[in-house]
Amino acid sequence: MVEASPSSTRRLALLALGAAGVVYGDIGTSPLYALKECFAAHGGLPVTPGNVLGIASLICWALILAVVITLRWAVRQRINALFLNC
C-alpha cells in the first residue's frame, strides 16, 4: 500500500474544504426551502416523525453526494482548491 505524503494529504484536505464551500455556499438556503415545500399545505406530506426524519435524511444525503461528486471531479481534473472555490 502506498502512503500519501503530508503535502498531498494537506492538498486533498484543502480541496475538500473548497468543494464543501462551493456546494454549501451555493445552496445554503435550498435545504430549508425543500423541507418547507415537502410539508406544504397544498399537496405536501403529513408532518409525522417518520416523514420529517425521512426528508431530513434525503436532504443530508443529497448534500453529502454533491460534495463527494464535486470533489471526485476536481481530483480527476487536478483542479487547484483555490480555483475550485472561485
Model confidence pLDDT, tens digit, residues 24-74: 555 556 777 778 888 888 888 899 999 999 988 988 888 888 778 877 777
Cα separation, 31 vs 61, in Å, equals: 11
For residue 73, the 8-state DSSP code is H
Residues 14, 70, 84, CA angle at the centre, nearest 5°?
A: 50
Amino acid at 79: I
pLDDT for the residue numbered 57: 92
Residue 21, pLDDT > 80, answer no
For residue 69, the 8-state DSSP code is H
pTM of this prediction? 0.54
Cα separation, 18 vs 49, in Å, equals: 34
